[in-house]
Structure 1
Amino acid sequence: MNGIRIMKGLQWRSFSRCAILRQEVAQAAPSLTIPVPEGVDKPVSPKIEKIVSEITTLNLLEVSELSQVLKKRLNLPDAPVMPMGGFAMAAPAAQDEEEATPKAVKTSFTVKLTKFDDKQKVALIKEVKSLLEGFNLVQAKKFVESVPTVVKADVSKDEAEKLKEALTKVGGIIEIE
Protein backbone atom coordinates (compact mmCIF):
# COMPACT_ATOMS: atom_id res chain seq x y z
CA MET A 1 0.00 0.00 0.00
CA ASN A 2 2.80 2.35 0.80
CA GLY A 3 4.33 1.54 -2.58
CA ILE A 4 1.14 2.59 -4.34
CA ARG A 5 1.02 5.92 -2.48
CA ILE A 6 4.65 6.61 -3.37
CA MET A 7 3.96 5.82 -7.02
CA LYS A 8 0.91 8.10 -7.04
CA GLY A 9 3.01 10.84 -5.39
CA LEU A 10 5.68 10.51 -8.10
CA GLN A 11 3.06 10.54 -10.79
CA TRP A 12 1.52 13.64 -9.30
CA ARG A 13 4.92 15.37 -9.18
CA SER A 14 5.69 14.54 -12.78
CA PHE A 15 2.20 15.64 -13.82
CA SER A 16 2.61 18.94 -11.96
CA ARG A 17 6.04 19.46 -13.56
CA CYS A 18 4.49 18.97 -17.00
CA ALA A 19 1.78 21.48 -16.16
CA ILE A 20 4.35 24.01 -14.99
CA LEU A 21 6.42 23.51 -18.15
CA ARG A 22 3.32 24.00 -20.30
CA GLN A 23 2.56 27.25 -18.54
CA GLU A 24 6.14 28.46 -19.04
CA VAL A 25 6.02 27.58 -22.73
CA ALA A 26 2.64 29.27 -23.14
CA GLN A 27 3.96 32.43 -21.50
CA ALA A 28 7.14 32.40 -23.62
CA ALA A 29 5.26 31.88 -26.89
CA PRO A 30 4.17 35.53 -27.33
CA SER A 31 7.86 36.58 -27.43
CA LEU A 32 8.50 34.28 -30.39
CA THR A 33 7.89 35.99 -33.68
CA ILE A 34 7.41 34.69 -37.17
CA PRO A 35 9.94 36.08 -39.64
CA VAL A 36 8.63 38.70 -42.06
CA PRO A 37 8.63 37.63 -45.73
CA GLU A 38 10.93 39.44 -48.18
CA GLY A 39 9.58 42.60 -49.74
CA VAL A 40 7.34 43.36 -46.75
CA ASP A 41 8.35 46.05 -44.25
CA LYS A 42 9.18 44.70 -40.82
CA PRO A 43 6.78 45.96 -38.16
CA VAL A 44 8.37 48.54 -35.86
CA SER A 45 7.73 48.81 -32.16
CA PRO A 46 5.71 51.85 -31.05
CA LYS A 47 8.66 53.11 -28.98
CA ILE A 48 10.97 53.15 -32.03
CA GLU A 49 8.24 54.66 -34.21
CA LYS A 50 7.83 57.51 -31.70
CA ILE A 51 11.58 58.23 -31.61
CA VAL A 52 11.81 58.21 -35.41
CA SER A 53 8.89 60.58 -35.79
CA GLU A 54 10.46 62.98 -33.26
CA ILE A 55 13.86 62.88 -35.01
CA THR A 56 12.31 63.61 -38.39
CA THR A 57 10.85 66.85 -37.02
CA LEU A 58 14.30 68.16 -35.99
CA ASN A 59 16.06 70.85 -38.02
CA LEU A 60 19.65 70.50 -39.25
CA LEU A 61 21.25 72.16 -36.22
CA GLU A 62 19.30 69.96 -33.82
CA VAL A 63 20.30 66.85 -35.77
CA SER A 64 23.96 67.89 -35.52
CA GLU A 65 23.60 68.44 -31.78
CA LEU A 66 21.84 65.06 -31.38
CA SER A 67 24.64 63.39 -33.29
CA GLN A 68 27.31 64.91 -31.04
CA VAL A 69 25.46 63.91 -27.86
CA LEU A 70 24.99 60.33 -29.11
CA LYS A 71 28.68 60.09 -30.00
CA LYS A 72 29.66 61.18 -26.50
CA ARG A 73 27.20 58.95 -24.66
CA LEU A 74 27.81 55.85 -26.80
CA ASN A 75 31.57 56.45 -27.00
CA LEU A 76 31.60 56.39 -30.82
CA PRO A 77 34.60 57.62 -32.84
CA ASP A 78 34.14 60.36 -35.40
CA ALA A 79 33.43 58.84 -38.80
CA PRO A 80 35.26 60.39 -41.77
CA VAL A 81 33.05 62.75 -43.74
CA MET A 82 32.39 61.56 -47.30
CA PRO A 83 32.50 64.32 -49.91
CA MET A 84 29.66 64.83 -52.34
CA GLY A 85 31.68 63.09 -55.08
CA GLY A 86 31.86 59.78 -53.22
CA PHE A 87 35.41 58.46 -53.05
CA ALA A 88 37.19 61.66 -54.05
CA MET A 89 39.12 61.60 -50.77
CA ALA A 90 40.76 58.29 -51.74
CA ALA A 91 42.53 59.76 -54.79
CA PRO A 92 45.23 61.76 -52.92
CA ALA A 93 46.15 58.70 -50.86
CA ALA A 94 46.72 56.70 -54.02
CA GLN A 95 48.83 59.54 -55.39
CA ASP A 96 51.03 59.48 -52.28
CA GLU A 97 51.56 55.74 -52.72
CA GLU A 98 52.65 56.31 -56.33
CA GLU A 99 55.20 58.89 -55.22
CA ALA A 100 56.52 56.58 -52.52
CA THR A 101 57.08 53.66 -54.89
CA PRO A 102 59.58 54.08 -57.70
CA LYS A 103 57.94 54.48 -61.05
CA ALA A 104 58.29 51.59 -63.47
CA VAL A 105 60.68 52.30 -66.29
CA LYS A 106 59.13 51.80 -69.69
CA THR A 107 61.19 49.35 -71.73
CA SER A 108 59.11 48.80 -74.86
CA PHE A 109 57.96 51.53 -77.19
CA THR A 110 55.73 51.84 -80.25
CA VAL A 111 56.79 53.93 -83.24
CA LYS A 112 53.84 55.45 -85.08
CA LEU A 113 53.80 57.33 -88.39
CA THR A 114 51.11 60.02 -87.96
CA LYS A 115 51.65 62.28 -91.01
CA PHE A 116 54.08 62.88 -93.83
CA ASP A 117 55.21 65.63 -96.18
CA ASP A 118 53.60 65.12 -99.60
CA LYS A 119 56.71 66.50 -101.34
CA GLN A 120 58.88 63.74 -99.84
CA LYS A 121 56.37 60.89 -100.22
CA VAL A 122 58.54 58.89 -102.64
CA ALA A 123 61.60 59.14 -100.37
CA LEU A 124 59.49 58.08 -97.38
CA ILE A 125 58.14 55.04 -99.26
CA LYS A 126 61.70 53.98 -100.18
CA GLU A 127 62.85 54.42 -96.57
CA VAL A 128 59.91 52.38 -95.21
CA LYS A 129 60.71 49.64 -97.76
CA SER A 130 64.32 49.50 -96.61
CA LEU A 131 63.58 49.72 -92.85
CA LEU A 132 60.74 47.21 -92.65
CA GLU A 133 61.63 43.65 -93.55
CA GLY A 134 59.52 41.84 -96.13
CA PHE A 135 57.97 44.98 -97.64
CA ASN A 136 58.03 45.44 -101.41
CA LEU A 137 57.48 48.82 -103.07
CA VAL A 138 53.69 48.40 -103.41
CA GLN A 139 53.28 47.36 -99.74
CA ALA A 140 55.45 50.29 -98.60
CA LYS A 141 53.33 52.71 -100.68
CA LYS A 142 50.06 51.37 -99.17
CA PHE A 143 51.61 51.50 -95.72
CA VAL A 144 52.62 55.16 -96.05
CA GLU A 145 49.27 56.19 -97.56
CA SER A 146 47.33 54.57 -94.69
CA VAL A 147 48.62 56.95 -92.02
CA PRO A 148 48.34 56.99 -89.03
CA THR A 149 49.93 53.54 -88.76
CA VAL A 150 52.26 51.73 -86.39
CA VAL A 151 55.70 51.30 -87.92
CA LYS A 152 57.05 48.99 -85.21
CA ALA A 153 55.74 47.94 -81.80
CA ASP A 154 57.53 46.64 -78.72
CA VAL A 155 60.95 48.01 -79.61
CA SER A 156 63.69 49.36 -77.35
CA LYS A 157 64.10 53.08 -76.81
CA ASP A 158 67.28 53.21 -78.88
CA GLU A 159 65.67 51.42 -81.83
CA ALA A 160 62.61 53.67 -81.60
CA GLU A 161 64.81 56.77 -81.66
CA LYS A 162 66.74 55.45 -84.70
CA LEU A 163 63.48 54.76 -86.59
CA LYS A 164 62.15 58.20 -85.71
CA GLU A 165 65.33 59.90 -86.88
CA ALA A 166 65.45 57.99 -90.17
CA LEU A 167 61.78 58.58 -91.03
CA THR A 168 61.84 62.23 -89.93
CA LYS A 169 64.71 62.93 -92.36
CA VAL A 170 62.50 61.81 -95.28
CA GLY A 171 59.43 63.82 -94.28
CA GLY A 172 57.61 61.55 -91.83
CA ILE A 173 56.07 62.85 -88.63
CA ILE A 174 56.64 60.21 -85.95
CA GLU A 175 55.28 59.67 -82.44
CA ILE A 176 56.88 57.34 -79.93
CA GLU A 177 54.47 55.88 -77.41
Structure 2
Amino acid sequence: MSVKTFEILEQLKSLTLLETSELVKQIEVTFGVDASPKPLFYNSITHLSDDHSPLPPVPTEVNVILDHVPAEKKIAILKVVRTLMGLGLKEAKDFVESVPQVVKEAVTPEVAEEIKQQLELAGAGVSVQ
Protein backbone atom coordinates (compact mmCIF):
# COMPACT_ATOMS: atom_id res chain seq x y z
CA MET A 1 0.00 0.00 0.00
CA SER A 2 1.37 3.47 -0.86
CA VAL A 3 2.19 6.02 1.84
CA LYS A 4 -0.54 8.35 0.57
CA THR A 5 -3.18 5.59 0.75
CA PHE A 6 -2.00 4.60 4.20
CA GLU A 7 -2.31 8.20 5.45
CA ILE A 8 -5.84 8.54 4.04
CA LEU A 9 -6.85 5.26 5.69
CA GLU A 10 -5.50 6.43 9.04
CA GLN A 11 -7.42 9.71 8.72
CA LEU A 12 -10.62 7.79 7.91
CA LYS A 13 -10.19 5.71 11.06
CA SER A 14 -10.16 8.87 13.16
CA LEU A 15 -13.47 10.24 11.76
CA THR A 16 -16.66 10.17 13.80
CA LEU A 17 -19.78 8.51 12.46
CA LEU A 18 -21.30 11.87 11.50
CA GLU A 19 -18.11 12.95 9.72
CA THR A 20 -17.98 9.62 7.86
CA SER A 21 -21.59 10.03 6.73
CA GLU A 22 -20.88 13.54 5.45
CA LEU A 23 -17.77 12.28 3.65
CA VAL A 24 -19.77 9.54 1.89
CA LYS A 25 -22.39 12.09 0.74
CA GLN A 26 -19.68 14.39 -0.55
CA ILE A 27 -17.99 11.52 -2.44
CA GLU A 28 -21.33 10.61 -4.04
CA VAL A 29 -21.88 14.19 -5.21
CA THR A 30 -18.31 14.73 -6.38
CA PHE A 31 -17.93 11.49 -8.32
CA GLY A 32 -21.57 10.90 -9.30
CA VAL A 33 -21.83 7.51 -7.59
CA ASP A 34 -24.36 5.87 -5.29
CA ALA A 35 -22.93 4.28 -2.15
CA SER A 36 -26.26 3.06 -0.78
CA PRO A 37 -26.37 -0.70 -0.14
CA LYS A 38 -28.20 -2.83 -2.66
CA PRO A 39 -30.69 -5.38 -1.34
CA LEU A 40 -29.46 -8.96 -1.30
CA PHE A 41 -32.50 -9.99 -3.35
CA TYR A 42 -31.45 -7.63 -6.15
CA ASN A 43 -27.95 -9.04 -6.19
CA SER A 44 -29.19 -12.62 -6.33
CA ILE A 45 -31.43 -11.86 -9.30
CA THR A 46 -28.64 -10.28 -11.28
CA HIS A 47 -26.50 -13.29 -10.41
CA LEU A 48 -29.19 -15.66 -11.62
CA SER A 49 -29.43 -13.91 -14.95
CA ASP A 50 -26.08 -15.46 -15.85
CA ASP A 51 -25.91 -18.99 -17.23
CA HIS A 52 -26.71 -20.45 -13.79
CA SER A 53 -30.29 -21.63 -13.45
CA PRO A 54 -31.33 -22.59 -9.91
CA LEU A 55 -34.39 -24.57 -10.98
CA PRO A 56 -34.34 -27.67 -13.11
CA PRO A 57 -36.20 -27.34 -16.39
CA VAL A 58 -39.89 -28.21 -16.26
CA PRO A 59 -40.49 -31.46 -18.14
CA THR A 60 -42.64 -31.13 -21.24
CA GLU A 61 -43.17 -34.87 -21.58
CA VAL A 62 -43.75 -37.38 -18.79
CA ASN A 63 -44.64 -41.04 -18.40
CA VAL A 64 -47.65 -42.39 -16.51
CA ILE A 65 -46.81 -45.57 -14.62
CA LEU A 66 -49.26 -48.04 -13.12
CA ASP A 67 -47.56 -49.01 -9.86
CA HIS A 68 -50.09 -50.95 -7.82
CA VAL A 69 -53.32 -52.80 -8.51
CA PRO A 70 -55.30 -53.96 -5.46
CA ALA A 71 -56.94 -57.33 -6.07
CA GLU A 72 -60.41 -56.03 -5.19
CA LYS A 73 -60.11 -53.18 -7.75
CA LYS A 74 -58.54 -55.19 -10.56
CA ILE A 75 -61.61 -55.31 -12.82
CA ALA A 76 -62.32 -51.57 -12.54
CA ILE A 77 -58.69 -50.76 -13.26
CA LEU A 78 -58.64 -53.22 -16.15
CA LYS A 79 -61.59 -51.37 -17.76
CA VAL A 80 -59.82 -48.02 -17.48
CA VAL A 81 -56.59 -49.47 -18.91
CA ARG A 82 -58.50 -50.97 -21.84
CA THR A 83 -60.09 -47.60 -22.59
CA LEU A 84 -56.87 -45.62 -22.25
CA MET A 85 -54.65 -47.98 -24.20
CA GLY A 86 -57.08 -49.51 -26.67
CA LEU A 87 -56.20 -53.06 -25.59
CA GLY A 88 -58.23 -56.23 -25.83
CA LEU A 89 -59.40 -58.01 -22.69
CA LYS A 90 -56.52 -60.50 -22.52
CA GLU A 91 -53.85 -57.88 -23.25
CA ALA A 92 -55.30 -55.52 -20.62
CA LYS A 93 -55.48 -58.37 -18.06
CA ASP A 94 -51.83 -59.31 -18.71
CA PHE A 95 -50.83 -55.64 -18.49
CA VAL A 96 -52.61 -55.06 -15.17
CA GLU A 97 -51.18 -58.25 -13.66
CA SER A 98 -47.59 -57.31 -14.49
CA VAL A 99 -47.22 -53.98 -12.70
CA PRO A 100 -45.31 -51.70 -12.63
CA GLN A 101 -46.04 -50.82 -16.24
CA VAL A 102 -45.94 -47.65 -18.30
CA VAL A 103 -49.50 -46.76 -19.28
CA LYS A 104 -48.61 -43.77 -21.49
CA GLU A 105 -45.20 -42.49 -22.56
CA ALA A 106 -44.15 -38.97 -23.47
CA VAL A 107 -47.41 -37.17 -22.74
CA THR A 108 -47.84 -33.62 -21.49
CA PRO A 109 -48.07 -33.16 -17.72
CA GLU A 110 -51.72 -32.10 -18.10
CA VAL A 111 -52.67 -35.28 -19.98
CA ALA A 112 -50.67 -37.35 -17.50
CA GLU A 113 -52.62 -35.82 -14.61
CA GLU A 114 -55.95 -36.69 -16.28
CA ILE A 115 -54.84 -40.29 -16.85
CA LYS A 116 -53.58 -40.52 -13.27
CA GLN A 117 -56.91 -39.28 -11.91
CA GLN A 118 -58.86 -41.81 -13.97
CA LEU A 119 -56.72 -44.69 -12.74
CA GLU A 120 -56.75 -43.50 -9.12
CA LEU A 121 -60.55 -43.20 -9.20
CA ALA A 122 -60.62 -46.86 -10.21
CA GLY A 123 -58.35 -47.66 -7.24
CA ALA A 124 -54.92 -47.98 -8.84
CA GLY A 125 -51.61 -46.75 -7.51
CA VAL A 126 -50.15 -44.45 -10.17
CA SER A 127 -47.04 -42.30 -10.52
CA VAL A 128 -45.95 -39.71 -13.05
CA GLN A 129 -42.27 -39.52 -14.00
TM-score, normalised by the number of residues in structure 2: 0.57
Give the alignment partner of residue 130 of structure 1, picking from 69, 80, 83: 83
Offset, 1:99: 8.6
Give the alignment partner of residue 112 of structure 1, picking from 65, 82, 87: 65
Give the alignment partner of residue 145 of structure 1, picking from 85, 97, 112: 97
For 1:23-102, list aligned pairs within 5 A.
100-101=52-53
Counterpart secondary structure, 1:114: strand
**2:10 maps to which residue?**
none
Offset, 1:129: 0.5
Counterpart secondary structure, 1:100: coil
Flag structure 1 segments of 5+ consecutive residues without an equivalent: 1-95
Identity %: 34
TM-score, normalised by the number of residues in structure 1: 0.42
Offset, 1:100: 2.5
CA distance in 2, matches of 1:122, 1:129: 10
**2:16 maps to which residue?**
none
CA distance in 2, matches of 1:150, 1:104: 23
CA distance in 2, matches of 1:99, 1:118: 51
CA distance in 2, matches of 1:125, 1:138: 10
**2:36 maps to which residue?**
none
Flag structure 2 segments of 5+ consecutive residues without an equivalent: 1-47
- Aligned residues: CA RMSD: 2.2
Structure 2 letter corresponding to 1:124: I
The higher radius of gyration belongs to 1
For residues 16-75 of structure 1, give each alpha carbon's deviation from its aligned partner in whole angstroms, at most 9, with x where no partner exists.
xxxxxxxxxxxxxxxxxxxxxxxxxxxxxxxxxxxxxxxxxxxxxxxxxxxxxxxxxxxx
- Higher relative contact order structure (alpha carbons within 8 Å, sequence separation ≥ 6): 2
